[in-house]
Amino acid sequence: MEVKIQSVNFDADKKLVDFVEARVEKLEQFFDHIVGVESFLKVEKGEAKENKVVEIKVMIPGKDLFAKKQAKSFEEATDEAVEALRRQVKKYKEKLMAK
């Protein structure tokens, strides 16, 4: 599985990139056929405290799954996005098994 992480308008440190990679790679436990993952880390402009945005796209054969979450920290937003994708992956896998 190929994991691409891009930070928009800032430089993500190695610790943050490693954290996102580790969380995203856990999705393989639920579905073996994940082709790749693209993750975008953004800081929204404005005074809001929850200005860290994480977008994750999971590419699997025949479908792309997507989650976008906003939180106070990138770690929190990543956890929420990965959890949403975990539910989507499980739902997709159940549909495949039903066929």
**pLDDT tens, residue by residue, 46-62:** 777 889 999 999 999 88
The answer to whether residues 83 and 27 touch, using CB atoms and an 8 Å cutoff, is: no
CATH assignment of the domain containing 39? 3.30.160.100
Strand order in the sheet with 63-71: 2-8, 36-43, 52-60, 63-71
Q: Tens digits of per-residue pLDDT, 5-23?
A: 999 988 999 999 999 999 9
- Domain span at 92: 2-98
Q: What is the pLDDT of residue 74?
A: 95
Backbone angles phi, psi at 90, to 5 degrees: -65, -40
Write down the residue that tokens 């992956």 correspond to: 89
Q: Which residue type occupies 72? A: K
Q: Tens digits of per-residue pLDDT, 67-85?
A: 999 999 999 999 999 999 9
Mean pLDDT for 17-45 is 93
Least reliable range by pLDDT among 12-16, 40-44, 72-76, 95-99? 95-99
- Predicted TM-score (pTM) above 0.85: yes
**Number of compact structural domains in the chain:** 1
